[in-house]
Amino acid sequence: MTLHSTPIGRKPLSAAFPPTSVSLPVLPRSTVAMDWSAVYENSGEEQGNWEDHGETRSSRNAHRLLHRQTSLPLAKQQAAGAQYSPYVAYAFTVNYILGVGSLGIPYAFYRAGLAMGNAMIVLVTLLSYMTVMWVCEAVARAREAFVLSFLLDETSALKSFSYSSTPSTRRSSAGLEYDDFPEVTQLCERFLGPLGSKMYQLSLLGLMYGGLVGYSQVFVNTFLTQLDHIGDWELTSVHAAVVFACIVLPLSCSDLTEQIYVQLTMSVVRFAALLIMIFSAAYAVYADPFDSGAVLQPSPESAPYLSDYSLVDLSGFGVMFSTGVFSQLFQHSVPGLLAPLGAKNQEKAATIFGSTLLTTMVFYIALGSVCSLYFGPKLATSVNLNWAEFTWGINESMTLVPLWAKLLSMIVVVFPALDTLSVFPLISVTLGDNMAAVVPKRWTRGGRRSSWKLICRFGAALPPLLISMFVSDLSVTLQISGLMGIYVAFFAPALLQLQARREIPSSNAYSGKFSGTVYVYGVLVFGMLALLVLLYQLVRQIASG
């Protein structure tokens, strides 16, 4: 669905949304939620389309329950009364953000240094808030542009009707181009043109593959901590990846229905696992000398058990910045999170998204700081693995650790692997269907469409599984994914703000103190410098083996 690309007049509007006096056709939307499962209908059949889909997180979608109501224009949504409240929007968005990136935060903190790690996550959070609100402003300006274009079409239709007995069809054609909350790909097409849209789509493609590789690595690494041999047969990452493939490949090649209750359950366990890690590591600083990365003296009065740490290590800038970007990335999902809020709560979007980013930032600072201080050089690139042999300070021998402690450790270690079993198929199905959508039509004739869809899904799922057999370092995957995410998180929103504000300079419900052009150019300059440093450090890291 494409919005009008003709120049729009600069008539200021007092609100971000169409006035209720404008009667617009009620049309179903093909895309209603910004998540991996957005391509699924209740029938389980999906339609891949690069212009409508392309997301980076798959398990943050409980708001999908409301998707039928979000198809309606705002005035009709108000009457339907099925929007979610700001508190629900906050909860869904927090769950949307927290994912595999959180497991890499402590290692990134350790690499960058404690002070630099905290400063970087605060900076990335601030930049993410600014760019999220710019996407909101672009959504509002796209809606204003449609209303202005619609009114112009209506005026032209009235003039045409006065000279012709044939009713004008302009109204219906305008209605067919209307979308309540256009997705970011549509915004890029509308304001940045085909090149900007394609760059955005390619960045999302990279994020999809990065997410698939990351989830594969988490499963493989976790599997090997729980089962590293069978009798005299030593298991390797190849065996673990094959086990994972046997589970997720059939699911990835089938039509899946929504997994809302599974995802909600996983959400609860996800928060539990994060809290267990934070509080148990903080407790261990004063009570557990056995698992610390500190070089301990034989004296029993050696608590707190803190590892050697640095405050600033510039060599870790790349891994910290890219991991932070990936972990706070949800700009692509903003329209789908806005839609169910309803008209009366749209002005609260800044508070909702600001509170969400502040919450995840606090989680990341707590987890990153305490784990990097305690585990130090023992930190795994996926921090949950540090609980595989966690003694809780009870006894140096794991055989004497009580069952309750082992159970808590198992939740931390095993949960991410279980989460991947539900998330991986959703991502690969989405990616595969988007790949199938760009297959030339002549190849899909004669009933071959289903075959190509199956091939594309298989092609989407297989490469990440192969990579996880030989690359186990989650931090490298997060760096590459964060590299791709810079365009999605910073460049695209900044360019949208520049172009949309140039076309429609009036403020809207989402405008604030960061809406000015000086902030936009600041983000673009910082993003470019960070991209160059990240590329340099990543190339050096890969080259050094």
DSSP 8-state assignment for residue 510: T
Tell me if 244 is assigned to some domain. no
Evaluate whether 526 touches 324 at the Cβ level (below 8 Å): no
Query: How large is the angle between the packed helices 114-163 and 517-543, nearest 10 degrees?
Result: 130
Tell me what pLDDT residue 162 has.
52
Tell me if 34 is assigned to some domain. no
Estimate the share of the chain in helix, then strand, then coil, as percent rounded to the nearest 5. 70, 0, 30
Q: How far apart are CA 506 and CA 366, in angstroms?
A: 40
> In this model, does residue 262 exceed pLDDT 70?
no
Q: How far apart are CA 307 and CA 305, in angstroms?
A: 7
- Region 9-35: mean pLDDT is 37
- Region 421-449: mean pLDDT is 75
Tell me if 520 is assigned to some domain. yes
β-bridge mates for residue 233, sequence order: 230
> In this model, does residue 408 exceed pLDDT 60?
yes
Highest mean pLDDT among 73-77, 167-171, 448-452: 448-452
Q: What percent of the chain has pLDDT over 90?
A: 30
> In this model, does residue 351 exceed pLDDT 50?
yes
Taking residue 477's Cβ as centre, other Cβ atoms within 10 Å add up to: 31
Question: Angle CA(113)–CA(114)–CA(116) in degrees, nearest 5?
Answer: 65
Q: Give the pLDDT band (50/70/90) at residue 260.
A: low
> In this model, does residue 143 exceed pLDDT 60?
yes
> In this model, does residue 363 exceed pLDDT 90?
yes
Tell me what pLDDT residue 170 has.
41
Q: What is the model's pTM?
A: 0.75
Taking residue 439's Cβ as centre, other Cβ atoms within 10 Å add up to: 16
Evaluate whether 188 touches 492 at the Cβ level (below 8 Å): yes
What value does the mean pLDDT of the chain take? Answer: 77
Mean pLDDT is lowest, of 33-42, 196-205, 297-306, for 33-42
Tell me what pLDDT residue 272 has.
87
> In this model, does residue 265 exceed pLDDT 90?
no
Tell me if 150 is assigned to some domain. yes
Q: How far apart are CA 37 and CA 258, in angstroms?
A: 7
Tell me what pLDDT residue 493 has.
95
> In this model, does residue 190 exceed pLDDT 80?
yes
Q: Give the pLDDT band (50/70/90) at residue 467.
A: very high
Tell me if 218 is assigned to some domain. no
Taking residue 516's Cβ as centre, other Cβ atoms within 10 Å add up to: 13
- Region 283-294: mean pLDDT is 84
Tell me if 348 is assigned to some domain. yes
Contacts of 20 (CB under 8 A, 6+ apart): 75
Tell me what pLDDT residue 47 has.
43
CA 139 to chain centre: 18
Residue 19: phi, psi to the nearest 5?
-65, 150
> In this model, does residue 525 exceed pLDDT 90?
yes
Tell me if 450 is assigned to some domain. no
Q: What is the pLDDT of residues 235-252, one digit of tens each?
A: 999 999 999 999 888 888
- Region 105-126: mean pLDDT is 95
Residue 234: helix, strand or coil by DSSP?
A: strand
Q: Give the pLDDT band (50/70/90) at residue 366.
A: very high
> In this model, does residue 545 exceed pLDDT 80?
no
How many domains in the chain? Answer: 1
> In this model, does residue 279 exceed pLDDT 90?
yes
Tell me what pLDDT residue 109 has.
96
Tell me if 35 is assigned to some domain. no
Print the domain residue range for 67. Answer: 60-195+256-426+477-532
Taking residue 2's Cβ as centre, other Cβ atoms within 10 Å add up to: 13
> In this model, does residue 301 exceed pLDDT 80?
no
Across 26-57, b (16+ Cβ under 10 Å) vs e yields ebebbbbbbbbbbbbeeeeebebbbbbbbbbb
Q: How far apart are CA 366 and CA 118, in angstroms?
A: 10
> In this model, does residue 18 exceed pLDDT 60?
no
Q: Give the pLDDT band (50/70/90) at residue 426.
A: confident
Taking residue 332's Cβ as centre, other Cβ atoms within 10 Å add up to: 26
Higher pLDDT, 229 or 450: 229
Tell me what pLDDT residue 259 has.
54
- Residue where the block lists tokens 């979610």: 84
Q: What is the pLDDT of residues 501-515, one digit of tens each?
A: 999 998 888 999 999
Tell me what pLDDT residue 496 has.
95
Tell me what pLDDT residue 156 has.
62
Across 337-364, b (16+ Cβ under 10 Å) vs e yields bbbbbbbebbebbbebbbbbbebbbebb
In one letter, which amino acid is 453? K
Residue 309: helix, strand or coil by DSSP?
A: coil
Tokens of 76: 């009709």
In one letter, which amino acid is 336? G
The Cβ-side half-sphere exposure at 506, using a 13 Å CA radius, reads 18
Tell me what pLDDT residue 337 has.
84
Highest mean pLDDT among 19-28, 341-350, 463-472: 463-472
Picking from 331, 424, 382, the residue whose alpha carbon sits closest to that of residue 59 is 424
Evaluate whether 150 touches 350 at the Cβ level (below 8 Å): no
